[in-house]
Structure 1
């Protein structure tokens, strides 16, 4: 049975009507004076889920986490954790740990002492505390650095110390606010998989804030895309990428071409869009737009074929001139300017080291794509 993208794991409690949410925001609004950071927001997150809040700066995602951690109180609405209301519960009495982007390690303490700090504050006996610290050091692969101070560690190692300290108390929920933002690209990619493995090994619920779409797509079971204090779409990474519900989501997640036109029915679950770029046939999944209505066809660059001759039998084909070319190693991005002035981006996978007669600048080319390869959007 076909699915939208590959499935990372079979875990999907949100599809079970009987499943009880572990975290529940119910009609939550948060105002700071006259500014509304979060507006009438409802959201359910399930136990053992790796959930990401994704959106631009100022969209309200960090405010949500701060309310969950207890650093802010909702202006309106209710917030529940494991069925218990959180209103009025101070941060230190919530079974929640929050890991900040800055890591906030104590510079005068060793790695081991940093990890043990929260356990010591809770009055855990030293033998048990030492055993827990040893477990955490092994978990994050820092056993040989136990006696070092934070300034003697790399950025990635400090990140692991902060993570070990966050999970040492076995919180029911770990909140991560841009936890990998200070790492370089390669280390960030490696750490993403380490976080995923750690989350599943410990069986914790992770809720992470990020503005990095690739980070959210890599690690998450589900993603909530936010804009101006509201959630505009929630779904698995594949659902968000392959079936966005608006131009905002389509444009925010990855690269996308969005072509506009007036609607004409085409039968068999398809419509035709007549626009400045020509006629485009698209498949409609639900809620077909009305005849004459303006709609948009969103298609990802990797779904577009490019060639020098008109493709035979292609339902959708557009002619244009190569405007820009970017070689990225694993793929090549080609921008094609159409007669209308619209620039359409196509991506080709570099499967071979050598390319015979590659497409060059200013060449006339044809773009083709299947109606099912994109999605028709009404807004």
Structure 2
């Protein structure tokens, strides 16, 4: 099997049949009146994993986090942490800590006072508190801001104070609810890598809730994609992107083109798909699709080449017209309306300052892609 994307690190307990999950949701359902927020959901998360719950608003991801934290109880099913059933255990007795999007820092306390607050509540000896606070300040690179109060800090610095306070008590699991939502784009991108480094340094299990696909893809070891309270797919970022398990996942994560058709023939792993217009697509990643099946062929925009002439030897090539394009600096995005009426989105990296094959609005164009560029979806 070809590798799907880069390997984040030598850490994949989910691939070991003997590995024991650290957190388990077992047939968990949560109802609010007649509304089912989480529907018979089962999910395993492993120790030291950076795990992301990704989905649109109302998909149940924050409800899962709240149940794990103890703010809500499941209507049915069990949640286990390190083998212990969490039902009935109040939030303050659970070995988890939660960091909210609002940060909720104490405005009258200094940075070090905010970080030390939970440690003082636990009656930790003063010398140990001072050492722990100093360690946390070093980890989040805020040593010089120890005596400042929250209003004297930038948004990114306040976020790091909240993070340091959350991990100061050394919880077994850190829960992060949209932790970077209040930051601007550039700072958010920088903080994603800081969070990854911190999680690696501390060796904790992080569970993050986000609706930001890029955020989940950047930080997480694995992603659970949720819809209407159900898990649609659990996989690594590369697998979710390159090998989506359904039409929903393919359409939800990133940009994608969908070609509808039927499998006209199969030969080992290679399939020939015929569309309603009679156009044919030859694909290698046909999965379990059988001859006669109605399928979708999903392909990402960056896998498609756009040119003014039909590429020599191209197996899959279709002609159309450029009806829209956007120059984004590092890449150009083309919208090509094929002769059968379907609109295809393609993107091309601007690797050089001068375009060899310039295309503009209303030009005739060919799109092409190799047989292994996309994936066949049956559900």
Report the TM range for the smaller structure's normalisation.
over 0.9
Query: What are structure 1's unaligned runs of at least 5 residues?
Result: none
Residues 108-157 of structure 1, C-alpha deviations (whole Å, 9 max, x = no match): 11111111110011111111111111111111011111111111111100
Q: Distance in 2 between matches of 1:279 and 1:287?
A: 19
The alignment's TM-score, normalised by the length of structure 1, stands at 0.98
Matching residue of 2:329: 329
Alignment of 1:242-261 (within 5 A): 242-261=242-261
Q: Distance in 1 between matches of 2:246 and 2:290?
A: 13
Q: Distance in 1 between matches of 2:25 and 2:40?
A: 9
Residues 265-285 of structure 1, C-alpha deviations (whole Å, 9 max, x = no match): 142322222214521122245
Q: Distance in 2 between matches of 1:357 and 1:74?
A: 58
Distance 1:42 1:136, change over 3 A: same
**1:356: Cα distance to partner?**
4.1
Matching residue of 2:281: 280
Matching residue of 1:297: 297
Residues 267-317 of structure 1, C-alpha deviations (whole Å, 9 max, x = no match): 2322222214521122245312341x3211000011111111111211111
Preserved contact between residue 115 and residue 164 of structure 1 (Cα < 8 Å): yes
Residues 65-119 of structure 1, C-alpha deviations (whole Å, 9 max, x = no match): 0000000000000110011110100000000000000001111111111111100
Which stretch of structure 1 is more off in the superposition, 18-27 or 277-286?
Answer: 277-286
Query: Partner of 1:271: helix, strand, or coil?
Result: strand
Alignment of 1:167-186 (within 5 A): 167-186=167-186
2:222 is aligned with 1:190: no
Q: CA RMSD in A?
A: 1.1
Matching residue of 1:65: 65
Number of equivalenced pairs: 378
**1:357: Cα distance to partner?**
5.0
Preserved contact between residue 289 and residue 295 of structure 1 (Cα < 8 Å): no
**1:372: Cα distance to partner?**
1.0
The alignment's TM-score, normalised by the length of structure 2, stands at 0.98
Query: Partner of 1:373: helix, strand, or coil?
Result: coil
Q: Distance in 1 between matches of 2:77 and 2:87?
A: 10
Query: Partner of 2:358: helix, strand, or coil?
Result: coil
Preserved contact between residue 98 and residue 177 of structure 1 (Cα < 8 Å): yes
Query: What are structure 2's unaligned runs of at least 5 residues?
Result: none
